[in-house]
C-alpha cells in the first residue's frame, strides 16, 4: 500500500487520488443526469469577441420563455460574465441546505440563470483562473446547479475556441447545436469559419449563423449604412460553408440601452427594426431545430 493510501470503513483501499477520481466520476454522473432533464440545449458561439453573442443569448432566452417554455440561461464566459446584466438580475443564487446544490436565480419570465458573476464579490472582481479551474467551474455549473426539468437551456460562451467552449461541446450531451454570431467584417468572418470547423470536428451541429450589427439607419436622414465590411458577407460565408443563414440584425440603440440599463430588448413594448429582425431570426432557428 503506498504511503497516501488508507482503508475505508469496509476495508477497501482509498487515497486522495482515488477519492478525487471518485468525485469526478460522481460529478460526471450528475452532469449526465441533469442534462437528460433539459430537452433542448443551445450554445451561442463566435470566434470573435464583441460581436453580440451575449446580446443574442440573453434575448433568445427571453424569446424561448415568452413562448411559455421553461428556460434556463447559463453564462459560461468565466472571465467576462455579463449575461445577468442583460437579463436585469441583481440578486444571487441560494444553496439548497439539504442537497448542497446551487439554486439558479429566478430571472425575467422565470428564466433560471447561473453565471460566474454570482460567485464574485463585485462586478469589479477579476477572475484570474487557469484552465483546470475554468474547466472545474463549467462542470459544477452543469452538474451541481439544480436546473430541474427545462425545455430550453441557452448557453453563452466566451469568444474563441478555448477551454470553456471545448468543455461545453464535450459535456453537454446531447447539444442541439451552436448558433454562430458574426459581423460582416473580414476579421470576424475568418474567426467564425474556425469556430464552424471546430464544431464540425467536435461533431456538434451548427444550427446557423446570425449576422449582427449589419446596418445602421441614421435617425435624422434615414440613410442605411453597412457598418462592418461588405454587404452579405455573413450570408456568403454561410453558403460557402454550407450552414444555414439565420438572418441579419441591424444596429439598434435599444440593444445598447439593454446593456446599460438591463432592460431586455425583446420584452420592451416598442417595435423596432432590430426586434422584427430578431423575431425573424428566432423563427429560422426554431425551423432548424425542428429539422
Positions that interact with ligand ATP (CB under 6 A):
46, 49-55, 77, 80, 158-159, 212-213, 249, 251-252, 255-256, 259, 274
- Of 54, 182, 199, 212, which one interacts with Mg ion (CB under 5 A)? 54
Residue among 78, 104, 77, 103 at smallest CA distance from 89: 104
In the window 230-259, what residues touch Mg ion (CB under 5 A)?
A: none
From the list Mg ion, ligand ATP, none, partner contacted by residue 212 (C-beta under 5 to 8 A by kind)? ligand ATP
Q: How far is the CB of 207 from Mg ion (least distance, A)?
A: 18
Rounded to 5 degrees, φ, ψ at 286 are -60, -40
How many whole angstroms separate alpha carbon 163 and alpha carbon 2? 34
- Dihedral (CA of 229, 233, 237, 243) sign: positive
Only one of the segments 46-54, 174-182, 196-204, 240-248 lies at the binding site for Mg ion (rule: CB under 5 A); that segment is: 46-54
How many whole angstroms separate alpha carbon 152 and alpha carbon 133? 27
Q: How far is the CB of 156 from ligand ATP (least distance, A)?
A: 7
Closest CB to Mg ion among residues 34, 53: 53
How many whole angstroms separate alpha carbon 20 and alpha carbon 3? 17
In the window 69-108, what residues touch Mg ion (CB under 5 A)?
A: none
Instruction: Judge whether 252 and 212 are in contact, CB under 8 Å.
Output: no
Q: How far is the CB of 104 from ligand ATP (least distance, A)?
A: 20
Q: How far is the CB of 251 from ligand ATP (least distance, A)?
A: 4
Closest CB to ligand ATP among residues 15, 162: 162
How many whole angstroms separate alpha carbon 232 and alpha carbon 248? 9
From the list Mg ion, ligand ATP, none, partner contacted by residue 274 (C-beta under 5 to 8 A by kind)? ligand ATP
The closest residue (CB) to Mg ion is 54
Q: How far is the CB of 204 from Mg ion (least distance, A)?
A: 19
The answer to whether residue 53 forms part of the interface with Mg ion (CB under 5 A) is: yes
Q: Give the interface size with Mg ion as a residue count (CB under 5 A).
A: 2
Q: How far is the CB of 159 from ligand ATP (least distance, A)?
A: 4
Amino acid at each position: 500500500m503506498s504511503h497516501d493510501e488508507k482503508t475505508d470503513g469496509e476495508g477497501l483501499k482509498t487515497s486522495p487520488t482515488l477519492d478525487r477520481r471518485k468525485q469526478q466520476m460522481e460529478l460526471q454522473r450528475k452532469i449526465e443526469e441533469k442534462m437528460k432533464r433539459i430537452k433542448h440545449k443551445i450554445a451561442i458561439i463566435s470566434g470573435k469577441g464583441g460581436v453580440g453573442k451575449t446580446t443574442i443569448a440573453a434575448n433568445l432566452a427571453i424569446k424561448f420563455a415568452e413562448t411559455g417554455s421553461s428556460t434556463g440561461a447559463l453564462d459560461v464566459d468565466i472571465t467576462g460574465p455579463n449575461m445577468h446584466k442583460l437579463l436585469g438580475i441583481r440578486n444571487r443564487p441560494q444553496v439548497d441546505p439539504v442537497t448542497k446544490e446551487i439554486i439558479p436565480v429566478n430571472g425575467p419570465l422565470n428564466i433560471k440563470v447561473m453565471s460566474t458573476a454570482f460567485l464574485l464579490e463585485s462586478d469589479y472582481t477579476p477572475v484570474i483562473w487557469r484552465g483546470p479551474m475554468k474547466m472545474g467551474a463549467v462542470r459544477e455549473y452543469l452538474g451541481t446547479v439544480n436546473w430541474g426539468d427545462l425545455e430550453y437551456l441557452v448557453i453563452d460562451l466566451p469568444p474563441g475556441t478555448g477551454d470553456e467552449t471545448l468543455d461545453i461541446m464535450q459535456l453537454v450531451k446531447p447539444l442541439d447545436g451552436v448558433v454562430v454570431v458574426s459581423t460582416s467584417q473580414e476579421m470576424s468572418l475568418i474567426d467564425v469559419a474556425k469556430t464552424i470547423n471546430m464544431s464540425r470536428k467536435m461533431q456538434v451541429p451548427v444550427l446557423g449563423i446570425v449576422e449582427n450589427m449589419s446596418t445602421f439607419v441614421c435617425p435624422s436622414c434615414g440613410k442605411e449604412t453597412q457598418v462592418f465590411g461588405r454587404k452579405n458577407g455573413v450570408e456568403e460565408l454561410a453558403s460557402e460553408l454550407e450552414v444555414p443563414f439565420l438572418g441579419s440584425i441591424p444596429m439598434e440603440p435599444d440593444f445598447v440601452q439593454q446593456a446599460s440599463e438591463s432592460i431586455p430588448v425583446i420584452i420592451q413594448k416598442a417595435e423596432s427594426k432590430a426586434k422584427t429582425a430578431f423575431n425573424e431570426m428566432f423563427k429560422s432557428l426554431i425551423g432548424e431545430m425542428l429539422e
